[in-house]
Amino acid sequence: MRAVLQRVSEASVRVGGAVVGQIGPGLLILVCAMQDDTEAEADRLAAKIAKLRIFRDAEGRMNRSVRDVSAAALVVSQFTLAADTARGNRPGFSQAAPPEEGERLYLHFTEALRAQDVPCETGQFAADMQVGLVNDGPVTIWIDTREA
């Protein structure tokens, strides 16, 4: 699985003008299930993110996790993280999991993150979403379970 994490002061997702998910301080997590991913990758990604020390401690150093600071996550599925831009000018997305499998793994990842004691809000799978955020730092980190 692939994920882009953004440490945020606040984030929200709208579908058709209605807010479907929002958080205050925490993480906006854009996530994509790739071909051949399993629940094991989703579980490993959730555990890694829950423990990743990217929040400030009392001295201002990035030394605390999302759990340590009692923050939340807004999890949004984003198949475009599977973009292959190696050839031509139109990205290919054939490495993304098929939609049904992608949704299943997206939901599994969200539940795995909740099991790590991280409160989660979500977007709406396969919807045209408008994501708003205030990036804190800015801090943006990319994780691929095949490389981590």
Annotated active-site residue in 79, 109, 110, 145: 79
Under 8 Å between Cβ of 5 and 103 = no
Work out the angle at residue 64's Cα, subtended by the Cα atoms of residues 113 and 6, and round it to the nearest 5 degrees: 60
Can you say whether residue 10 is alpha, beta or left, with left for phi > 0 and alpha for psi between -120 and 50 degrees?
A: beta
Strand-strand pairing, 26-32 and 2-15: antiparallel
Instruction: Please tell me the distance from the alpha carbon of residue 46 to that of residue 108, in angstroms, as a whole number.
Output: 10
| 95 counts as catalytic | no
Catalytic, out of 80, 93, 130, 140: 80
User: Which residue out of 78, 110, 116, 145 is catalytically annotated?
Assistant: 78
Residues with active-site annotation: 78-80
